[in-house]
Amino acid sequence: MLRIENLNKSFGSVRALDGINLKVNPSEMVALIGASGSGKSTILRHISGLCVGDKAPGEVVVAGNPIQANGKLATDIRTLRAGIGVIFQQFNLIGRLNVITNVLLGALGRTPILRSLCRSFYSADRQLAMESLRKVGLESAAFQRASTLSGGQQQRVAVARTLVQKSPLILADEPIASLDPESSIKIMELLQTLNRENGLTVIVSLHQIDYAVKYCPRVVALCGGRIYYDGPSQQLTTDKMKSIYGEKAAAMFSGQSLETQRLVAKTSPNVLVPRTDIPVGNTLNA
Amino acid sequence: MSQPLTITPDEIIINPITGEPAKPMPPTVEPDSGPQRRLKPQPPVPRRGWGIKRLSFLVITGAILAWSWHGAEIKPMALWRDAGNMVTLAKDFFPPDFSDLKLYLQEMVITLHIALWGTIFAIIFSVPLGLMCSENVAPVWLRQPTRRLMDACRAINEMVFAMLFVVTVGLGPFAGVLALWVHTTGILAKLFSEAVEAIDPQPVEGIKSTGAGLLAEIYYGILPQVFPLWISFTLYRFECNVRSATVVGMVGAGGIGVVLWELIRGFLFRETFATMLVIIVAVTIFDLISQRLRKAVI
């Protein structure tokens, strides 16, 4: 489904991506984790062709179509983007348009320009848009302005938009970073449904390791623009997290989400887990 | 200090997390106002002195102002010395003569027609040209030439354009429409492009990621964001054009300006005053209407 070979990206003297190699098979659900600035978003932006890598040998191929190679975007990138659904942290809806129109915009890639300028989308697409809204549970808000919805609702509209887009690959760039826990769970469950029932490939970047472990069988961890870990999420140990997030943050992290580690422990008994019957602070000092 | 600051051993609190005894809070000492509290010398607030930079700036500003005063031949004394002339002229204005009111109103309506179509043509051209001037839409090879062209349209006053168009299309309102069109395009394109450059790029990326073409991306990603501002700019320019349209007539480009110019040249000041009153009323009404509309849009 996705193949990245030797992708490099520098912003000035900072190396944001350093020789990334990644392969994702169809119908996989992969979490991208890593500290801020580790390159999660940058990778996703390169896959969707919103960013171009350095002018060095390297390429990004989605579903057999090269998106970019050697620091140059494909010439038919606008058509290729239709096959890659993107969900953004800030939802990126058009606030002044109503919800159903925002969802319909997913069909822009296959709508002739005159039709889309007149806002006369195909009736099949209109039906699909309404169905998608039903799927995310927002059909009652179809004719509200998108800006009047809450963050969680807006993100569900964004998911509906990618559904209308009918892309086999969905990239979600920190989709739950600005949402409350309940909305976050809703979004992650939606993505999981799309992955399991519709067979879509989903790559989602996350800050919250517990969500990554819970919803994604495979985790790719980034550190300083390199892939540090790529494998089953169950084998992600505290030690590994320490080196991903740094000693201090990992310590705080291990204190905060003991639930994650218990979850890990349940699935793989080999992993060392801090005892929960002693105060949390002791693991801090350990 | 009446209370002792020592803590008895049984009062020591053990931190349940670290297992270490908690440190006692340091006693808060009320600042005494007694004589033992000496006033510490405050670090002086840095004051800006008369540095050489500041001085030379003032000297240069002063020189420019003096030079312009001389160049513009400003003579305040003339106001006082020639006060008699002004009183005579002002007297000539009264009472306003409305005997030709029908003509004035007809010409005023034509003036509004000039302003309306001058603005509409300008909008039609400013939308693409404004986008072509915007950094986040157009590449540099397209942006820079378009910007310079718009600079030129703006730099030259509509009166000058009116004189030129009178030569090419003859006397009459159409020359006025053309003059307003060119000048307003220059202004609106700049204002439109500034609005486009200030948009939030994220929704545009959202549209881009659906595989939209460039036109659809602009139509759905950019236009909804700039729409209220564009409407507001356009209405403001329409207000300005109603005022400008009264003047372009003076060089023969139709409307009430022609009448006004003829009356002034014929020293018919009572009729001139009546015409001026018509213009004032019309312009005021349109200013009020467009302000209402602008508030409704934003």
Shortest distance between the Cα of A70 and any Cα of chain B, in A, equals: 21
What tokens does A99 get? 């919800």
Contacts A285 to B, Cβ<8 Å: 18
- Indicate yes or no: CB of A93 within 8 angstroms of CB of B203: yes
Contacts B18 to A, Cβ<8 Å: 281, 284-285
- Split at pLDDT 50, 70, 90, the class of B47 is low
The amino acid at B48: R
Q: How does pLDDT run across B179-221, given as a tens digit for each residue?
A: 999 999 999 999 999 999 999 999 999 999 998 888 999 999 9
- Indicate yes or no: CB of B210 within 8 angstroms of CB of A80: no
B219: nearest CA in chain A?
A: A117
> What pairs with residue A9 in β-bridges?
A17
Q: Kindly write down the DSSP assignment for every residue of B21-64, as one continuous string.
A: BPPPPPPPPPPP-STTSPPPPPPPPP-----HHHHHHHHHHHHH
Across the range A2-13, mean pLDDT stands at 88
- Cα gap A24→A30, rounded to integer Å: 8
Shortest distance between the Cα of A62 and any Cα of chain B, in A, equals: 14
- Split at pLDDT 50, 70, 90, the class of B18 is low
Contacts B206 to A, Cβ<8 Å: 86, 88, 91-94, 105, 158, 161
CB neighbour burial string for A44-53, b if at least 16 within 10 angstroms, e if fewer: bbbbbbbbbb
Distance of CA B221 to the CA centre of its chain: 26
Q: What percent of chain B has pLDDT over 90?
A: 37
Q: Are B179 and A70 in contact (CB under 8 A)?
A: no
- Split at pLDDT 50, 70, 90, the class of B134 is very high
- Split at pLDDT 50, 70, 90, the class of A38 is confident
Q: Are A235 and A267 in contact (CB under 8 A)?
A: no
Q: How does pLDDT run across A203-255, given as a tens digit for each residue?
A: 999 888 888 888 899 999 888 888 888 888 877 777 777 777 766 655 555 44
Shortest distance between the Cα of A68 and any Cα of chain B, in A, equals: 15
The size of the A-B interface in CB pairs under 8 A is 97
> ∠ CA A141-A145-A151 to the nearest 5 degrees?
75
For A4, which DSSP code? E
- Indicate yes or no: CB of A116 within 8 angstroms of CB of B16: no
For tokens 């490099």, the residue is A8
Q: Choose between B44 and A194: higher pLDDT.
A: A194
Q: With a cut of 80, say whether residue B13 has pLDDT above it.
A: no
Across the range B111-120, mean pLDDT stands at 92
- Cα gap A28→A169, rounded to integer Å: 10
Q: How many CB atoms lie within 10 A of CB A75?
A: 8
Mean pLDDT score across all residues of chain B: 84
- Split at pLDDT 50, 70, 90, the class of B40 is low
Nearest to A108 among B202, B203, B210 (CB): B210
State ipTM: 0.80
List Cβ neighbours of A261 (8 Å cut-off, separation of 6 or more). Answer: A238, A254, A271, A273, A274
- Cα gap A221→A225, rounded to integer Å: 10
What tokens does B208 get? 């881009």
Across the range B89-108, mean pLDDT stands at 86
Q: Choose between B189 and B296: higher pLDDT.
A: B189
Q: With a cut of 80, say whether residue A269 has pLDDT above it.
A: no
Half-sphere exposure of A280 (CA within 13 A, CB side): 9
> ∠ CA B190-B196-B200 to the nearest 5 degrees?
155
Contacts B205 to A, Cβ<8 Å: 50, 86, 88, 92
Nearest to B210 among A90, A95, A165 (CB): A165
- Cα gap A262→B151, rounded to integer Å: 67
Contacts B201 to A, Cβ<8 Å: none
Residue A109 contacts B, CB cutoff 8 Å: yes
- Split at pLDDT 50, 70, 90, the class of B127 is very high
Q: How does pLDDT run across A151-176, given as a tens digit for each residue?
A: 889 999 999 999 999 899 999 998 88
- Indicate yes or no: CB of A108 within 8 angstroms of CB of B213: yes
Residue A95 contacts B, CB cutoff 8 Å: yes
Bridge-based pairing of strands A72-73 and A169-173 is unpaired
Q: With a cut of 50, say whether residue A126 has pLDDT above it.
A: yes
**Which of A87, A74, A73, A81 lies closest to A109 in space, CA to CA?**
A81
pLDDT for B186: 94
Q: How does pLDDT run across B239-259, given as a tens digit for each residue?
A: 889 888 888 888 888 888 888
- Cα gap A259→A280, rounded to integer Å: 12
Q: With a cut of 50, say whether residue B294 has pLDDT above it.
A: yes
B203: nearest CA in chain A?
A: A92
> What pairs with residue A31 in β-bridges?
A204, A219
Half-sphere exposure of B55 (CA within 13 A, CB side): 4
- Indicate yes or no: CB of A97 within 8 angstroms of CB of B212: no
Q: Are A219 and A33 in contact (CB under 8 A)?
A: yes
Shortest distance between the Cα of B66 and any Cα of chain A, in A, equals: 50
**Which of B124, B128, B118, B95 lies closest to B222 in space, CA to CA?**
B128
Across the range A54-63, mean pLDDT stands at 88
> What pairs with residue A23 in β-bridges?
A3
Q: With a cut of 90, say whether residue B144 has pLDDT above it.
A: yes
Backbone angle region of B14, left / alpha / beta, with phi > 0 → left and psi within -120 to 50 → alpha: beta
Distance of CA A22 to the CA centre of its chain: 15
The amino acid at A127: Q
A160: nearest CA in chain B?
A: B210
List Cβ neighbours of B58 (8 Å cut-off, separation of 6 or more). Answer: none
Residue B206 contacts A, CB cutoff 8 Å: yes
pLDDT for B126: 95
